[in-house]
A and B are shown apart, each in its own frame.
Chain A
């Protein structure tokens, strides 16, 4: 598979405190790649750095042939990277339909994209006129993902999408991520629960103290449960 996203030697700082140390990552086209690590290991920071929310002092980020390193977040999004942060962050006063419309307008996408996205989340079709702040946690997560997918991204960054959701919703989100992979969308997924990603991920990168320490195929994680315990502390 071709590389969709390549991150090399990324050094990032919060003020003068270094938080990413020569971070490397490659995301293949259509791959579901999981970032694993303890709290504070730098998983969310890595996503923010890719998105341009945290400027890189050294290193590079490339989307295919496009250089993203110096770009502002809005330009990274327009280039084809969509980010669903932890906590969903919807436009709470707007309806489901209006949230989706804002996503579509960002890259001038039309009805066909809207229908394709709603086909992925049929539940949202029934809630189009509902104010998004009144949706359940799982529905809000679906809407956050749907809105990001309206950009028709090549790469989707998902930060703990299953956090606090009931098992049926987790299964639904897992299905959607797998379906996106089949359509050629690459997903970089931050998770803390091994069982949430085992069925869907292709590869896993362990991150510790702002450094990527090991990247393995997901089968290794299935075969060797001690591996997850070593880096995350739980199985």
Chain B
């Protein structure tokens, strides 16, 4: 049965990531912690873009809502980490609800522009309220604020191993939630909406309500990623609200495979290392060119759209493994 294969594959990926902690050098362990958190952002984006067919160019606002919701409550209000994480996710979910109610009145290109504009508003707000956010400079969460006590155990999220497993727990939870959504009745309706919105409506489905639910869940997952990023890496800055962080999840999802559950992880891993290595090579080859990293991202996007539209897992599914969710 497909469900059996799907569950085994997903558990195997989680187990592989757990095992990697034992073999990865310190630098790559840190990179993978970051990748797992960013892959959660990509999974949230994928739910809306890949499965529902809504192309948002403003998802940085949900990531940033989680980031600031968690980071500012810890820094200014001294909230405990679990509560701050919930606050981050809550901020993103409420923002997604408000944005969804407005932006879903539009479709296609208008939806892209409206989401991008709202994200720009949030980005500018993070600069405008600099006395709280410290704008571009950002806020570094001191190490003592990143300690948490749970069931008599002490966790220090500035410790690389603790951070790795915290990232893994979040990633695993969101991966399994995504698999559950995709296989559920709701997930199938989202796919139907992506395939033919009018037809779905004529079959008796409330398309607006289902799309709104997708925006809220997608925003909440992206916010969970942002909140985790703030708490695990101890930094909150307006860069994460910029348009670049709306484009990146699109790129990760396109590379790994839109509307595949594992595509976002693979896309994030590959793009992260592609940028990392190529930036290094380009920095040596053309030391005066400071935008080498953005150049690599741009070229990757063009190549993907032109020659590899289904992404890696999308291509594998189309040709060899129809059962991939």
Interface residues of A (CB under 8 A from B): 51, 53, 72-75, 77-78, 82-83, 85, 89-94, 98, 101-103, 105-107, 147-148, 151
Contact B201 A98 (CB under 8 A): no
Q: Considering the complex, give the chain A residue whose CB is closest to the CB of B191.
A: A94
Flag the segment in B96-104, B202-210, B279-287 that touches A: B202-210
In the complex, B162 has a CB within 8 A of chain A: no
- Please report which residues of chain B, range 121-141, place their CB below 8 angstroms from some CB of chain A when the two chains form the complex: none
Please name all residues of chain B whose beta carbon is closer than 8 Å to the beta carbon of A89 when the two chains form the complex: 196, 198-199
| With A101-B188, A102-B189, A105-B185: A94-B195 Cβ-Cβ less than 8 Å | yes
Within 8 A of A (CB), among B229-245: none
Q: In the bound complex, do residue B199 and residue A91 qualify as a contact, i.e. CB atoms below 8 Å apart?
A: yes
Query: In the complex, are the beta carbons of B185 and A77 less than 8 A apart?
Result: no
CA distance A82 to B199 in the complex (A): 11
Give the CA-CA distance A106 to B201 in the complex, in Å.
10
* Size bracket, chain B contacts: 10 to 19
Of the candidates B191, B192, B195, B204, which one forms a contact with A77 in the assembled complex, judged by CB atoms under 8 Å apart? B204
Nearest CB of chain B from residue A214's CB, rounded to whole Å: 29
Q: Cα distance A82–B196 when bound, in Å?
A: 16
Which residue of the partner chain B has the closest CB to A98? Answer: B188
State which of A77, A105, A107 has its C-beta within 8 Å of the C-beta of B189: A105
- Candidates A91, A101, A151; contact of B196 at CB < 8 Å: A91
User: Smallest CB–CB gap between B246 and chain A, Å?
Assistant: 26
- A98-B188, A105-B185, A105-B189 known; A74+B206 contact, CB < 8 A: yes
Return the CB mask of B202-232 against A: 1 if under 8 Å, else 0. Answer: 1111110000000000000000000000000
Please determine whether A93 and B191 come into contact, CB atoms closer than 8 angstroms. yes
| Distance, CA A105 to CA B201, complexed state (A) | 13
Mark out the residues of chain B between 172 and 208 whose CB falls within 8 Å of any chain A CB in the assembled complex. 185, 188-189, 191-192, 195-196, 198-207
Whole-angstrom CA separation of A51 from B203 in the bound complex? 11
* Inter-chain contacts of B204 with A (CB < 8 A): 74-75, 77-78, 106-107, 151
* Smallest CB-CB A-B distances: 9 pairs: A77-B204, A91-B195, A106-B204, A78-B204, A106-B203, A89-B199, A102-B192, A73-B201, A74-B201
Instruction: Give 24 CB contacts A-B under 8 Å.
Output: A72-B201, A73-B201, A74-B201, A74-B203, A77-B201, A77-B203, A77-B204, A82-B203, A83-B202, A85-B199, A89-B198, A91-B191, A91-B199, A92-B195, A93-B191, A93-B195, A98-B188, A102-B192, A102-B200, A102-B203, A103-B203, A105-B188, A107-B204, A151-B203
Considering the chains assembled together, what is the distance between the CA atoms of A77 and B201 in angstroms?
Answer: 8
Q: Which residues of B contact A102 (CB under 8 A)?
A: 188-189, 192, 200, 203
Q: How far is the CB of A98 from chain B (nearest CB, A)?
A: 7
CB distance from B315 to the nearest CB of A (A): 14
CB proximity of B114 to chain A, nearest CB, Å: 23
Instruction: Name the contact of A51 in the complex, choosing from B185, B202, B206 (C-beta under 8 A).
Output: B202
Interface centre among A73, A82, A107 (most CB of B within 10 A): A73
From residue B42, how far is it (CB to closest CB) to chain A in Å? Answer: 21
Contact check, B191 vs A74: say whether CB atoms are below 8 A apart: no
CB pair B202–A74 under 8 Å, yes or no, is yes
Which residues of the partner chain A approach B203 to less than 8 Å between Cβ atoms?
A: 74, 77, 82, 102-103, 106, 147-148, 151
Residues of A within 8 A of B192 (CB): 91, 94, 102
A109 to chain B, nearest CB (A): 11
Inter-chain CA distance A103–B195, complex, in Å, is: 14
Taking CB atoms, residues of chain A closer than 8 Å to B195 are 91-94
List of B residues within 8 angstroms of A74 by Cβ: 201-207
In this complex, the member of A53, A77, A98 whose beta carbon has the largest number of chain B beta carbons within 10 angstroms is A77
Q: How far is the CB of B111 from chain A (nearest CB, A)?
A: 20
CB distance from A181 to the nearest CB of B (A): 22
Q: How far is the CB of B163 from chain A (nearest CB, A)?
A: 38
* Chain B CB within 10 Å, residue with most, of A74, A93, A103: A74
- Closest-CB distance, B49 to chain A (whole angstroms): 15
Known pairs A89-B196, A93-B191, A102-B188 / 16 extra A-B pairs, C-beta < 8 Å: A72-B201, A73-B202, A74-B205, A77-B202, A77-B203, A78-B204, A82-B203, A85-B202, A89-B198, A90-B199, A91-B196, A93-B195, A98-B188, A102-B203, A106-B205, A148-B203
